[in-house]
Every structure is written in structure tokens, then in C-alpha cells.
Amino acid sequence: MAIDVFALGKQYSNWGKWGADDERGTTNYITPEKLKQSAATVRKGKVFSLGIPFDANGPQLGPFRNNPVHLMSLDGGDNASWTARGIGPLRVCDDWVIMPLQCATQWDGLAHVYYGDYLYNGVSAATVTSAGAEKNSIDKQGEGIVSRGVLLDIARYKGVDWLKHGELITAADLDGAAAKQGVTIEPGDVVLMRTGWRTKYVQDGNRNEFMGGEPGIGVDALPWLYEKQIAAFASDNWAVEVLPGEDAAVALPVHCVAIRDIGLTLGEMFDLDALADDCAEDGVYEFQFMGPVLKVTGAVGSPINPLALK
């Protein structure tokens, strides 16, 4: 299958839709009315954390991205010296984390992936330097990505614990899961897709298999992402899209078009299992979604601990 990202990008472009200076893309679909609608979905008073632990047990293989390294800068042993110097009764523990900003549950910002010479909304790729992204950086989402969330449990829809390595999820699958679950995708929604790939990793801990490929969406889903006018799209795998890809000569075409042209914020490595179990139990697949970014100036992505409130 030959894929032309330039043609697809031109067909599904949101450049200029929210003005020439826009740096937020599809999160603009989250209007005040949408935010109020999301609050009305909280009925049971339950909260689900959708973030995976930030620790050494994550799936990253390195060296491009490694799992977080947690270090104590002050611990119980250090505090003894404070007391010896007559400083008390206060004692302090403090710590650091050293990690890539995209090594666990994360948002991909609009300066993260591009092709040609331009980022989202026609911004020159030269605006991203070793100092960071001047435009389209993740901190532009600092108001928070809070909206009505919808879970599409593709694994349950297909009757499996997890989809297979390289298994393609089509737009028809997304619609089929929504119909079976009795939920409608609306403009401004944050859509979460469960493939079961995270479930597999939790069970077998095989980093090479988890990072070596995955089930995911393909270019067939791009018009679905564009026409549904969703605010953000996230999955429990590490790259959202199917790997190996549909065209061996084109790397990450969904990322290319979704981020650069649609202006869609993508989320990866979400933990959706507990939420999915609850949705299957009560038949309610909508909730209030909260996924605020870390306002790291000039960053192209952000670690997060997203929440689903039901």
C-alpha cells in the first residue's frame, strides 16, 4: 500500500481554521459548553487514573528513550547532619526524576512530528531548535485538556484480551465499537482507544514485544479523526498507529497527518484496563476526562497522569 502523506495532509488540513497564529489545534473544539457537558457525565463519583507508573519498570528500551530514573537528593540519612548542626526539628526528604518527557503516559505536542519543512498551521520547522519549540509547544495546552471522554474498547469489541502485533484497527472498527457500546462520538470529545496492548505488557513484561510493534489505527482512520472533530485521541499502545506500518517506505503516517495537518494532540501508553472494566460493568462509556500537561516551556511533549471521572 503506497501512502502519500502530502496528499492526505492537504485533504485533512485544519491550517487556518482557528486563525493564522493558532498553536492549539483541535483542542479548540473544547468550548465552554463542552466543558460543562463533561462535568455532567460525573454521576457515580469514581475516579480512574489512566497513567502508567513513572518508574524503572516501564517498557522503554533506550537509548533514544529510557524509563524514568528516580533519585533521592535528601533522605533520612542526610537529615542527621542537619540535626548535628543544630538545625531542627525540621527534617526533609527531597528527590529528582531524570527522564524523557515522552517515556510513559504522555501527550504528543504539535511540534513533535512533522514532514517537509512545516509544523502545524504552516509554522517553519526551523522554529524548533536545541532551545526548544518557539511555536506549537506543549505548554500552549496549559489551560488543560478537559472534556467529555469516550472509551472505545476495541479489544472487547473483537472479543480478545489484546489485539495482535501489527493488527490494523479501521474506521469501521471504531464505529462498530461505538455502536456496540451505545455511545456517540461528538465534536470536542477526547477519544480513548483500548487495544489491550498495555494489558499484554502488564501480564508478560516483554519490553521487546511491546516496543517491537503494535496493533493500531492506519491511514483509513484519518478522515474519521478529522470529520469527527475530536479534541484529542489516545491509546494504550506506544504510538497510536499500527506497527509495522502499512507502507514500509513511510514512517508513522498517522502521526504525520494527525499532528501536522489536523492539529490533533495524540496520547500514548494510557492505562485503560480499570476504566474499561467499569465501563463494561455499567454500560456507560462516557466520562469527564482530565489530562493537563506540564507547562514545560518549549517542550514538544508532556508526561501526564490523566483522570477519568464517572
- Domains (range + CATH), the chain: 5-63+101-309 (3.50.30.50), 69-98 (no CATH)
**CA dihedral of residues 87, 93, 99, 102 (deg, nearest 10):** -120
Q: Grid coordinates standing for 295?
A: 507547562
DSSP secondary structure string for all residues of 193-215: EE-SHHHHHHHH--HHHHHT-B-
- pLDDT 10s digits, 20-74: 999 999 999 999 999 999 999 999 999 999 999 999 999 998 888 999 999 998 8
Q: What's the CA gap between 237 and 241, in Å, rounded?
A: 8
Count of C-beta atoms within a 10 Å radius of residue 3 = 18
- pLDDT 10s digits, 171-206: 999 999 999 999 999 999 999 999 999 999 999 999
Q: Is the pTM of this model over 0.85?
A: yes
- Percent over 70 (pLDDT), the chain: 96
